[in-house]
Chain A
């Protein structure tokens, strides 16, 4: 498939809005999931680190 020019590729034979609307939204959704998973992992590690630190402090004050 030879598109000839960049304009032709973007235009998608007049269906550019539909084709790119599909591909771009799909890309955005998948990237958003990857970002949210990265943030979730960071958040879990941060929260649990605080949780264990607090638990250790409680142990020290008890003994």
Chain B
């Protein structure tokens, strides 16, 4: 039996105790996001040298790769919390999954948009239906499908379950995106950074990319925490603590 004083991971699985924690963490993540993105932008434009073959066009890499990483990573996190919500029936897990989807969709859009603007000067085309680009587009549709499906079902618990099943089935797409440049011949270049081999790019370029990715990561956490707080207030409105919280704010 757990006593009141013993720390428990389950403590923060209750929306009531997670709400203030999210509120406390959010400004720190936002501040770190501004810091990392500021340093990242400085390196992107004032430290990183001109690319020998692509000229200045390559500078899109700093947001393109960071956004593409976030789009896949956020989907995995969304799938994870959807799965936890489905198996353990914890309300907060489903709320976190719901809160992650719009931010994930936005980063997927940014990855596709910056990819098109990078493709035009380097490949000569905005878009090709090859494996990498198509699977990333499917990722965008999965995010939108998840949001639409949850929004279309009135019963919250059923909406969470249906969304979770969709999210989990869609997880298969993430390794397809990641390995698509290896499995199929494609216009898209291979991974610039991998865990198994040395990066194939200049140190300052890599540093800029990693710091931008950290910035986007912190931004995603801040945005998700802000959104999950809204979701918690909406869904827990029948509880006394939300009524007290609103009374204190309004």
Contacts and interface: CB of A to CB of B under 8 A. Distances in A.
Contact of A29 (B109, B229, B246, B249): B109
B20 interface: no
B102 interface: yes
Interface stretch (B11-19, B110-118, B167-175, B185-193): B110-118
Interface string B108-147: 0110011001101100000000000000000000000000
A1 B47 contact: yes
Q: Which of A12, A22, A45 has the most CB of B within 10 A?
A: A22
Given A33-B223, A52-B246, A45 B118 contact: no
B121 A48 contact: no
Nearest to B109: A29
Given A26-B67, A33-B106, A49-B246, A12 B230 contact: no
Interface string B207-229: 00000000000010001001101
B97 interface: no
A46 B219 CA distance: 26
B181 interface: no
Q: Which of B106, B117, B247 has the most CB of A within 10 A?
A: B117
A54 interface: no
Interface string B37-80: 00000000111111000011101100110010000000000000
A19 B67 contact: no
Interface of A: 1, 3, 9, 12-15, 17-19, 21-23, 25-26, 29-30, 33-34, 37, 40-41, 44-46, 48-49, 51-52
